[in-house]
Amino acid sequence: MKEHISDIYCGQLHIDRRVYGFCEEILAGLRERFENIDETAEYNQMKVVSAMQKNRVAEMHMKGSSGYGYNDDGRDTLERVYADIFKTESALVRPQITCGTHALNVALSANLRPGDELLSPAGKPYDTMDEIIGLRPSKGSLAEFGINYRQVDLLPDGSFDYELIQKAINSHTKLATIQRSKGYAQRPTLSVAKIGELISFIKKIKPDVICMVDNCYGEFVELHEPSEAGADMVVGSLIKNPGGGLAPCGGYIAGREEYIEQAAYRLSSPGLGKEVGATLGVNQSFYQGLFLAPTVVAGALKGAVFAANIYEKLGFRVIPNGTEPRYDIIQAVELGTPEALCAFCRGIQAAAPVDSFVTPEPWAMPGYDSDVIMAAGAFVQGSSIELSADGPMKPPYSVFFQGGLTWYHAKFGIMMSLQKLYEEGLVKL
């Protein structure tokens, strides 16, 4: 059987046998790690099934609504399912939320008012937040509405600077935004336990501070979610982990009833809130994607662990390293040169089921402060739970790899990324 598998990789899929052999050696040492990932996936799978059964999900809930979307029981039931999974009072799960950045903007702008202050106690958020906050001037930013921003950077070892956080919290501090994943920063992803410690610290200083967690890329990676560790809101995108690769669009905000109600009014209109919002036939994809999400996330996690161990063995700095616990699906690799970054992304693109023949090139992508190269041959545009890789064209030329709807596809993507680097003489095996 092994011979047949190697034949398709090294024959039809053009992987050099030295690349294949190197990757197989790495894989042989990861079996126990993969078993632990599967155990987490099983727990989260049962959690999803339990929430669906509790809320009596039925065939009729798969149908969508049109127009105003009044009385869309499928939509409303799905939101109760999300609330149960995340252990929150309420949830807003809508196709009208266009992406994770939009979900974050809705949650922030809904719950902040002129004169309030937004605090980021875990350093600078992801680049696409710059214009929401007003760090880069943009129409409609929070800064334009008189909402101030304060930031406390992480310490050199990636831990929280509790002393400066305490000094930063003042009478105007209304909301703390905590980004779980690393974004394009060279820092560790935050575990649910660490997030819980930070929230507890903030609440002791000022109990009424709203603590919001950007949960993108982290859903179903651990046994518990940040909302179970004290977060007042958790926010994410359905074309990342919780959509399971089937959701064609959408985002979610889950948390305390009063904050979700505010978000619903911001998303639709004052006076309308959660009562409107047609689902237009996406309910089945939302439900089925959520059902599949724990196992899809497990496949992506295995791919990330596989990538970390391969590139660490080759001498590259990887974040997290090959043995560290995982708290999101993203694997960063410091490749050191623009040539290596582009070659890696070309490999991921070449492994895609869609647009495998396309050559990714760096470009000035909206929301970023440098050219970015992105590889993604996805069934859903921009779906980063699918096999994808991207990175800013600036030192240390790190690539951020994520996704893979199945472990086998994630494995192939990593092999192909190494193949391109090997072909161009950028690594030696």
Point out which residues pair with 151 in neighbouring strands: 120
**Model pLDDT, residue 381:** 94
Q: How confident is the model at residue 392 (pLDDT cuts 50, 70, 90)?
A: very high
Long-range Cβ contact pairs of 12-15 (< 8 A, separation 24 or more): 13/412, 13/416, 14/419, 15/415, 15/416, 15/419
Please determine, for residue 283, whether its predicted confidence score (pLDDT) is greater than 90.
Answer: yes
**Model pLDDT, residue 2:** 60
Please determine, for residue 367, whether its predicted confidence score (pLDDT) is greater than 70.
Answer: no
Please state the rounded mean pLDDT for residues 266-274.
Answer: 97
Domain ranges in the chain are 2-43+291-423, 64-280
Q: Where are the beta strands (DSSP E) in 208-353?
A: 210-214, 233-237, 251-255, 317-319, 331-334
* Rounded Cα gap, residues 95 and 188, in angstroms: 31
Please determine, for residue 215, whether its predicted confidence score (pLDDT) is greater than 90.
Answer: yes
**Fold (CATH) for 2-43+291-423:** Aspartate Aminotransferase, domain 1 (3.90.1150)
Q: How many residues appear in the chain?
A: 429
Confirm whether 2-43+291-423 and 64-280 share one CATH topology.
no
Please state the rounded mean pLDDT for residues 320-343.
Answer: 97
* Rounded Cα gap, residues 371 and 362, in angstroms: 6
Point out which residues pair with 237 in neighbouring strands: 251
Q: How confident is the model at residue 285 (pLDDT cuts 50, 70, 90)?
A: very high
- The string of pLDDT tens digits covering residues 61-86 is 999 999 999 999 999 999 999 999 99
**Model pLDDT, residue 351:** 97
Q: How confident is the model at residue 369 (pLDDT cuts 50, 70, 90)?
A: confident
**Model pLDDT, residue 311:** 98
Residue 353: DSSP 8-state: S
Please determine, for residue 3, whether its predicted confidence score (pLDDT) is greater than 70.
Answer: no
**Model pLDDT, residue 130:** 93
Q: Tokens 């472990």 label which residue?
A: 407
* Rounded Cα gap, residues 230 and 376, in angstroms: 35
Please determine, for residue 88, whether its predicted confidence score (pLDDT) is greater than 80.
Answer: yes
Dihedral pair phi/psi, residue 298, rounded to 5°: -60, -40
Q: Tokens 């406390």 label which residue?
A: 152
Tell the burial category of 85 from Cβ atoms under 10 Å away from its Cβ (0-12, 13-18, 19+): buried
Please determine, for residue 364, whether its predicted confidence score (pLDDT) is greater than 90.
Answer: no
The answer to whether 326 touches 182, Cβ cutoff 8 Å, is no
Point out which residues pair with 233 in neighbouring strands: 212, 255
Nearest Cα to 234, choosing from 243, 276, 223, 217? 217
* Rg from Cα positions in the chain: 21
Please state the rounded mean pLDDT for residues 109-131.
Answer: 95
C-alpha dihedral, 323 to 326 to 331 to 333, nearest 10°: -40
Q: Which residues contact 199 (CB under 8 A, 6 or more apart)?
A: 176, 178, 211, 226, 229, 230, 231
C-alpha dihedral, 209 to 210 to 215 to 219, nearest 10°: 110
* Percentage of the chain lying above the pLDDT 90 cut: 94
The answer to whether 297 touches 37, Cβ cutoff 8 Å, is no
Distances (CA, A) of 411 to 121, 255, 381, 408: 36, 35, 21, 5
**Model pLDDT, residue 242:** 98
* Rounded Cα gap, residues 202 and 208, in angstroms: 9
CATH number of 64-280: 3.40.640.10
The average confidence (pLDDT) of the chain is 96
pTM of the model: 0.96
Q: Which residues contact 52 (CB under 8 A, 6 or more apart)?
A: 81, 287, 291
Please determine, for residue 365, whether its predicted confidence score (pLDDT) is greater than 80.
Answer: no
**Model pLDDT, residue 111:** 98
- The string of pLDDT tens digits covering residues 42-64 is 999 999 999 999 999 999 999 99
- The string of pLDDT tens digits covering residues 156-193 is 999 999 999 999 999 999 999 999 998 777 789 999 99
Helix, strand, or coil (residue 297) = helix
